[in-house]
Amino acid sequence: MSDDLFLRIIQREIPADIVYENDQVLAFRDIEPQAPVHILVIPKVRIPTVNDLTPEQAGYVSAMFLAAKEVAQQEGIADSGYRLVMNCNEDGGQSVYHIHLHVLGGRALTWPPG
């Protein structure tokens, strides 16, 4: 059994509220939403942090952004606006070590972050 929580979601070993999927990425609702819409977009390969990204994996990164755009449209927040966030390591606030794009929207978000 993998210790990568999000890989276990990809493999359907643990449940998730999946909202979008293609051959490269999966998107599902965050279990602890920080906004009315809070969805995580993940690649279907294990990349622990942004620091581990290789040039060969660049296609996954573009697939994540394209999926985020689709999800925002699906959720009805594309026009009102949304934020895409990817945290890296401890100071960045990363808690799950499988890269993921947070798609946050459905309310006005403050800036700068705390």
Residue 100 annotated to the active site: yes
Residues 12-31 that bind ligand AMP (CB under 6 A): 16, 28, 30-31
Q: Give the nearest distance from C-beta 76 to ligand AMP in angstroms.
A: 21
Is 96 a binder of ligand AMP (CB under 6 A)? yes
Question: What is the phi/psi pair of residue 69, to 5°?
Answer: -65, -45
Residue choice 51, 54, 95, 110 for contact with ligand AMP (CB under 6 A)? 95
Among 48-56, 58-66, 75-83, 87-95, the segment contacting ligand AMP (CB under 6 A)? 87-95
Is 104 a binder of ligand AMP (CB under 6 A)? no
- For 26-30, the CB contacts below 8 A with 24+ separation are 27/67, 27/68, 27/71, 27/103, 30/102
| Residue 50 to residue 35: CA distance in whole angstroms | 24
Residue choice 3, 23, 32, 90 for contact with ligand AMP (CB under 6 A)? 32
Neighbours of 38 (CB within 10 A): 18
Tokens of 9: 């979601």
